[in-house]
Copies of this chain bind each other. A is one copy, B any other.
């Protein structure tokens, strides 16, 4: 008895069929709607089907997948997906993933190839950001978790959670709030410092808050810098923050979810000046490197502090000097997971195949596209920019003459909804200055200028149509 196929040739045939379907899916992505709603009857069936006790032929499982799951994707593989910050994936990511699946490595520890590949990828990243040889790292699901683990390291290095102040900009990502909460910081620990006109942390306001905290006997412990804010794509001034870290003996963590990879883009990398001075950095590979979900990393300048935050001793996990139980230090001592998948492989494939220059060039291209879209909006009579375009994000409103207030908010929400339901494009919405606005995010290597032109036209068309129909 085994879970292996009884008929290997038949299995192999099905697997190759599935691979063709997978490749077709990406190759033909332009021919399909960006997104389409799940039909009500399908949803109801999914929500009531009982757990199967008996086997189903793999061919039937695959057919069910093709009919009921594949058509209802998030949409982020499509060239006209600009919602939130999603990467687009790559065909070669499929190859890396199927190979990783076959190896089925557990990269928690021990001595085997997958561990060395994760080490290599992490060393490359440490080198890239100018971290020293004693730096450490860990691949994780994504930046939210990496932020949480980074905060846990910082907590250990800064003396715990009591009477401690943590600083981040008012526009820092909500994963910072979640990280502090998970790590047991009392609510109110996070000081949300106002931002300047470019959405960067206001340094004078930061200094003032630190002084207030010191005067109150609260220890300034951690600063969290944003390298790429969600709505403006702003980078906090890392040099200035590192100076304050030095002056106050704090920990400086960077949330670089999508922004950290501008290190690869020659015309943008100066925004990260000072990144080689920070204590820890969290960022994603599944965004601007387009590695399939999920893949992020935490890097820590002082590897010993990193390990101290998570290492434990367990008799059943004793490592040896040589043999399969060798390979110390084990990755499990640098994070929470003991069982860890081989997510390093898809990153390794992407970096090798594309090379860092090409990834950097695509990041620059997305930013140039955002700038061009911004110019188009600025020149439009029915749209207005809600924030200056600094990076790859365009926040704007469709604003026909005579409309404002909540009705305008609702109109823009309706436009985003209409666009997605039409299958033409996916944009998200956000709040800027208390108003609901459209948000076009470009972390998409498939988007062309023609895609953006079509999207902008569709927004204007939907806006006019919905407004004239009295929507909302």
Contacts and interface: CB of A to CB of B under 8 A. Distances in A.
Interface stretch (A122-130, A195-203, A384-392): A122-130
B22 A127 contact: no
Interface stretch (A86-94, A238-246, A454-462): A86-94
A106 to B, nearest CB: 6
B113 A337 contact: no
A97 interface: yes
Nearest to A395: B316
A439 B101 CA distance: 26
13 contacts: A2-B446, A18-B95, A19-B19, A22-B99, A51-B127, A62-B95, A65-B99, A72-B113, A97-B100, A144-B339, A145-B336, A318-B431, A320-B417
Interface stretch (A218-226, A299-307, A346-354): A346-354
Interface stretch (A205-213, A267-275, A422-430, A463-471): A422-430
A325 B362 contact: no
Contacts of A35: 112, 324
Given A113-B73, A174-B314, A426 B324 contact: yes
B318 A429 contact: yes
A75 to B, nearest CB: 7
B352 A52 contact: yes
Q: Which of A93, A292, A428, A445 has the most CB of B within 10 A?
A: A292
Per assembly, the copies of the chain total: 2
A450 interface: no
Given A341-B141, A446-B2, A77 B104 contact: yes
A333 B114 CA distance: 32
A372 interface: no
Contacts of A420: 323-325
Interface string A406-448: 0000000100110011000010111100000001000001100
A292 B120 CA distance: 23
A445 B2 contact: yes
A92 B4 CA distance: 8
Interface string A1-34: 1111100100110111011111101110000000
Nearest to A5: B91
Nearest to A439: B316
Interface in A328-380: 332, 336-342, 345-346, 349, 351-358, 361-362, 365
Contacts of A113: 38, 68-73
Contacts of A173: 314
Contacts of A416: 323, 325
A231 B312 CA distance: 17
Interface string A55-90: 111100110110011111111110000011011111
A351 B18 contact: no
A91 B11 contact: yes
Contacts of A312: 174, 177-178
Contacts of A403: none
Contacts of A345: 65, 69
A51 B171 CA distance: 33
A399 interface: no
A358 B55 contact: yes
A438 to B, nearest CB: 12
A453 interface: no
Contacts of A22: 98-99, 101-102
A324 B81 CA distance: 11
A440 to B, nearest CB: 13
A218 B426 CA distance: 53
